[in-house]
Amino acid sequence: MAWFRCVLLTVPFAIAAVLNVLMLNADRLHLHREHIAGYGFLFGAPWAWLLDRGWVPDYHHHTMQLLFGYAIILWIPALLYSGCLWLLLRGLAQLTNVGRPARKGT
């Protein structure tokens, strides 16, 4: 069961990685950039209230601006999703261990 938790916690990062690769290679793969960008924004939409506060600095270097954009749209939400899943799994584990006596010897 521990491997299931590890896989479940890495799923948001896998989704962010796939979306990142698709966004970077949309022209080469002849995909609609607008649809791929929409999926990226849909992935980060639940966290928009937190990430859209104006604390992002304005970089004049194009590559830095792109990397920071991908971090805000994909990687920070993936970290937040994974953290919420971890808290949920941790809370469920605490609820299932409420009535059990503590193990001896550990």
Residue 77: count of CB within 10 angstroms of its CB: 24
Cα maximum dimension of the chain: 61
Residue 8: count of CB within 10 angstroms of its CB: 14
Residue 46 one-letter amino acid? P
Query: Which is more confident, 102 or 96?
Result: 96
Average pLDDT over residues 80-92: 92
DSSP string, 2-43: HHHHHHHHHHHHHHHHHHHHHHHTTTTTT--HHHHHHHHHHH
Average pLDDT over residues 90-98: 86
Instruction: Summarize pLDDT for 1-38 with one digit per residue, the tens.
Output: 688 888 999 999 999 999 888 888 887 888 888 888 88
- Predicted confidence at residue 1, as pLDDT, reads 65
Contacting residues for 29 by C-beta, under 8 A, at least 6 apart: 22
Contacting residues for 47 by C-beta, under 8 A, at least 6 apart: 76, 77, 80
Taking the model in full, what pTM does it have?
Answer: 0.75
Mean pLDDT over all residues of the chain?
Answer: 82
